[in-house]
Chain A
Amino acid sequence: MDRAEKIGLTLALIMLLGFFVLVVYAAKGLKIDIPTCITDVEPFQQGKLIKHADKRYELHILAKMWLFDFNEGATQIKLPVGSVVDVYVTSKDVVHGVHINDTNFNVMAIPGTVGYLRVKFEKPGVYHVVCHEFCGVGHHAMEGKIVVE
């Protein structure tokens, strides 16, 4: 290996390690983490919005061909600005994808499992929830809304 190759290799390694350290810092330090294995919440049969305290909610999203059930069949819900919501998702049938646009909530809905992330809705507005995994002929019309005001 000549000098240039050694320098190149070292720089590449430093760069990649730097990226990794930043990612770990964001995940564990800033708590921007990704879904993990949930074993204590069973897959549910119905969507539900539960209020625990002021601006503290728990949301169970049931994805099914071809709608999001946010709360006993509702495909649209309202939340106050600044709400911190523990969002759980599962699927009634096939695999769906749940992306709450303009947030970091992006979780697959897989039947038999439960996905979880916490979201804070800081700005008022309409948050579109889009299914982004092919789930059958109605897939492109699988949309829900979370209105934050």
Chain B
Amino acid sequence: MRVEGAIRFIILSEIVFPIVLLIFGIYHGVMQVLYRAGFIKAESFLGIDYYQGLTLHGVINVIVFTTIFIVGFSNALVMYALKKPLREKVQWIAWAMMIGGTLMAAWAMFTGRATVLYTFYPPLIAHWTFYLGAVLLVLGSLVPFFFDWIPNAIAWKRENPDQKIPLAVFGTFVNFILWTIMIVPVAVEILFQLLPLSLGLVDEINPLLARTLFWFFGHPVVYFWLLPAYVALYTILPKIVSEKGKLYSDPAARLAFVLFLIFSLPVGLHHQFTDPGITNTWKLIHALFTFGVALPSMITAFTVAASLEYSVKVEHPELKDSKFYWWAFLPYFKMEGLKWLFPFFFSGLILFFIGGITGIINASYNVNLVVHNTAYVPGHFHTTVGGLVLMVFFGMALYMIAKLKGTDVKFKGLAMISPYLWLAGQMIFSNAMMIGGLLEGWPRRTNSGLTYLNPDSPFYRPDWEGYALFSVIGGVIMGIAFLIYLVPFFATLLAPSTKESTIEFPFAEAYHDEPAPLLNNLRTWTVAAIVLAVLSYIPPLYDAAVRGVFFKSPAYIEKFPVPLKQLQQSKKEEPSGQEVVRR
């Protein structure tokens, strides 16, 4: 499908802008391993403090990069699958909101006015531009869904009354329905708690309520990142393996998406197992639902493996009866056709296998006491969002850029090396983080090189040294893998166009297919998801708002152990004094 003018520019920039931002994001990742191990023993480097850098790392990598890229990728998927053009006005509004919001929040973070990490737990408070920027970004990302894709899908349905909606659109819609629902609690947190406090309209906040609203959003958001990758696994991966490749089962894919819609929301308390103030029976119920949401990932693992097997075997009929030997014939390092994309998917899948298992460990209620907020946690999620999600996004970004630019992918060999190198680095890095956290309690979110990994400090913990060293080795390899990826990325982006710009995806047909009217009734499943989410959150929200919290707290900034209001007053009293308060 041809694309030109504004739509081409918008989709292209929704891919390029987040990846360029990632240069800052990943730079801080590499810095963090160096700081944490004590290779850099300092509060800050090149004018950016450790925790400011960590805020940038978290916000850029998992809030900005993911959101904007997912909008761009989903724009392209929906447009191509429904064969309907996008609306320029709608797309410009979304684009401006997302980019504008990002710039606002970036200003706050880069100038040190929002060193609150990407979870922005109060009573630490940031400048209001940080919160408003975040709100603009997420609201902007909803605009295409409501004003472009839904009307297009309705029109498509009218023209094709007895076909089911294409799987890529189905998965994308489940994802954005989920996204819409989960934004409500975090929007309430920001608009009714954080912004008023940040603007000085109120003096106090209930931090436990804010955390609970945040995690009502904060768990399902990981599925918002993951589902686009799943869409690609189901609809595109079989065709990468073989031109004749097929998806094993279309209803199984739809079942997985519907299960995600239902079980992604009533699980947020698994991030608050160690929080006071919330009755643990409700935490146990959320733990049960968390095991429920592992099910669609297991279904996906099954369907993906079956699709790989089918797709290898159509290309190699001699393998018909092999049980395991066919694994040796996957296109691990082949350039022809679309096979160059396979290393991205394969590395991602290996990492996600680890991520899935370690996620179940995390989610296991009392087992969480051993790992909560240790380095284990970032070890785990670098194999999920920094694994499958990132690898699939990198592969699809390169593929789409070449199509949109009307050229071929340049330096394919380097493009194929980078995911394997990332996989290798990630194996070393995430294992070091996970084991150091699990066995020795090495904390996350800590500039440990200044104290715990500093032999001159009274807090020195020599037992953490080995893990820190391996996290550096792995982290540096990941940094190199990213640099290698940037070569084909920019070479393709800057290459002259030789063909017309298009959007197209190699969607695979299904091997097993049947009409599944019940599964396709998204309206019913959406209502069910909302009802379950609300029911599972009424009691914990009541605990957090009323029973478990004795009084509210004043705002603080990260630099001083006294409330912000008090700082501002003492500043007013002695205007000649040091410029200690920033706002």
User: Which residues of A approach B to under 8 Å, CB–CB?
Assistant: 1-2, 4-5, 8-9, 12-13, 16-17, 19-20, 23-24, 26-27, 32-39, 42-43, 64-66, 89-90, 93-95, 97, 99, 101-102, 104-116, 128, 130-141, 143
| A13-B291 Cα distance, complex, nearest whole Å | 9
Task: Please indicate the chain B residues that have their CB under 8 angstroms from the CB of A132 in the complex.
Answer: 372-374, 443-446
A112 touching B451 in the complex, CB below 8 Å, given contacts A36-B278, A66-B561, A132-B443 = no
Interface residues of B in 94-133 (CB under 8 A from A): 117, 121, 123-124
Task: Please indicate the chain A residues that have their CB under 8 angstroms from the CB of B288 in the complex.
Answer: 20
Q: Are B450 and A33 in contact (CB under 8 A)?
A: no
Q: Are B374 and A99 in contact (CB under 8 A)?
A: yes
B283 within 8 A of A: yes
- Of the candidates B447, B450, B459, B549, the one whose C-beta lies within 8 Å of that of A113 is B549
Q: Are A93 and B123 in contact (CB under 8 A)?
A: yes
| A118-B129 Cα distance, complex, nearest whole Å | 43
Among the 9-residue stretches B80-88, B358-366, B403-411, the one with 4 or more Cβ atoms under 8 Å from chain A is: B358-366
| A8-B211 Cα distance, complex, nearest whole Å | 37
| A99-B461 Cα distance, complex, nearest whole Å | 15
A89 touching B276 in the complex, CB below 8 Å, given contacts A4-B306, A112-B551 = yes
B273 within 8 A of A: yes
9 A/B residue pairs, CB under 8 Å, sorted by A = A27-B284, A32-B369, A34-B365, A38-B548, A65-B556, A110-B207, A113-B208, A134-B558, A140-B452
| A106-B121 Cα distance, complex, nearest whole Å | 18
| A83-B43 Cα distance, complex, nearest whole Å | 39
**Number of contacts between A and B (CB, 8 Å)?**
214
- Output the least CB separation between B456 and chain A (Å): 13
Q: Are A2 and B366 in contact (CB under 8 A)?
A: no
B243 within 8 A of A: no
Task: Please indicate the chain A residues that have their CB under 8 angstroms from the CB of B123 in the complex.
Answer: 93-95, 111
Q: Are A34 and B548 in contact (CB under 8 A)?
A: no
B570 within 8 A of A: no
A106 touching B450 in the complex, CB below 8 Å, given contacts A8-B302, A64-B561, A134-B445 = no
- Output the least CB separation between A118 and chain B (Å): 12
Q: Which residue of B lies closest to A88 (CB)?
A: B276
Task: Please indicate the chain B residues that have their CB under 8 angstroms from the CB of A20 in the complex.
Answer: 287-288, 291
B13 within 8 A of A: no
Question: A-facing mask of B370-400, CB < 8 A → 1, else 0?
Answer: 1011100000000000000000000000000
| A117-B232 Cα distance, complex, nearest whole Å | 45
Q: Which residue of A lies closest to B248 (CB)?
A: A5
Q: Are A9 and B299 in contact (CB under 8 A)?
A: yes
B: number of interface residues (CB 8 Å)? 77
- Of the candidates A42, A128, A130, A137, the one whose C-beta lies within 8 Å of that of B558 is A137
Q: Are A12 and B280 in contact (CB under 8 A)?
A: no
Q: Are B284 and A111 in contact (CB under 8 A)?
A: no
- Of the candidates B278, B283, B445, the one whose C-beta lies within 8 Å of that of A133 is B445
Q: Are A136 and B443 in contact (CB under 8 A)?
A: no
Q: Are A108 and B443 in contact (CB under 8 A)?
A: no
Task: Please indicate the chain B residues that have their CB under 8 angstroms from the CB of A66 in the complex.
Answer: 561
Q: Are A137 and B273 in contact (CB under 8 A)?
A: no
- Output the least CB separation between B577 and chain A (Å): 19
Q: Are A113 and B277 in contact (CB under 8 A)?
A: yes
| A135-B123 Cα distance, complex, nearest whole Å | 10
> Which of B272, B280, B295, B369 has the most CB atoms of chain A within a 10 A radius of its CB?
B369
Interface residues of B in 267-282 (CB under 8 A from A): 272-281
A136 touching B556 in the complex, CB below 8 Å, given contacts A19-B360, A111-B123 = yes
- Of the candidates B276, B461, B556, the one whose C-beta lies within 8 Å of that of A38 is B276
Q: Are B249 and A5 in contact (CB under 8 A)?
A: yes
Q: Are B450 and A140 in contact (CB under 8 A)?
A: yes
Task: Please indicate the chain A residues that have their CB under 8 angstroms from the CB of B551 in the complex.
Answer: 43, 112
B543 within 8 A of A: yes
- Of the candidates A19, A65, A113, A137, the one whose C-beta lies within 8 Å of that of B550 is A113
- Output the least CB separation between A80 and chain B (Å): 23
Ranked nearest first, the 5 interchain pairs of A and B with the lowest CB-CB distance are: A115-B276, A65-B561, A132-B443, A132-B373, A36-B280
Q: Are A134 and B276 in contact (CB under 8 A)?
A: no
Task: Please indicate the chain B residues that have their CB under 8 angstroms from the CB of A106 in the complex.
Answer: 274, 368-370, 372-373
B158 within 8 A of A: no
Q: Are A35 and B280 in contact (CB under 8 A)?
A: yes
Task: Please indicate the chain B residues that have their CB under 8 angstroms from the CB of A16 in the complex.
Answer: 291-292, 294-295
Q: Are A128 and B373 in contact (CB under 8 A)?
A: no
| A32-B367 Cα distance, complex, nearest whole Å | 9
| A140-B284 Cα distance, complex, nearest whole Å | 32
Q: Are B278 and A37 in contact (CB under 8 A)?
A: yes
Task: Please indicate the chain B residues that have their CB under 8 angstroms from the CB of A36 in the complex.
Answer: 278-281
| A99-B441 Cα distance, complex, nearest whole Å | 8
B189 within 8 A of A: no
- Output the least CB separation between A122 and chain B (Å): 16
B448 within 8 A of A: yes
Q: Are B124 and A136 in contact (CB under 8 A)?
A: yes
Q: Are A136 and B370 in contact (CB under 8 A)?
A: no
> Which of A24, A108, A115 has the most CB atoms of chain B within a 10 A radius of its CB?
A108
Q: Are A23 and B461 in contact (CB under 8 A)?
A: no
- Output the least CB separation between B169 and chain A (Å): 23
| A23-B270 Cα distance, complex, nearest whole Å | 13
| A43-B277 Cα distance, complex, nearest whole Å | 11
| A17-B291 Cα distance, complex, nearest whole Å | 8
Interface residues of B in 283-304 (CB under 8 A from A): 283-284, 287-288, 291-292, 294-295, 298-299, 302
- Of the candidates B54, B207, B550, the one whose C-beta lies within 8 Å of that of A43 is B550
| A38-B299 Cα distance, complex, nearest whole Å | 40
B465 within 8 A of A: no
Q: Are B366 and A26 in contact (CB under 8 A)?
A: yes
Interface residues of B in 532-583 (CB under 8 A from A): 543, 547-553, 556-561, 563
- Output the least CB separation between A51 and chain B (Å): 24
Task: Please indicate the chain A residues that have their CB under 8 angstroms from the CB of B51 in the complex.
Answer: 134, 137, 139
- Output the least CB separation between A25 and chain B (Å): 10
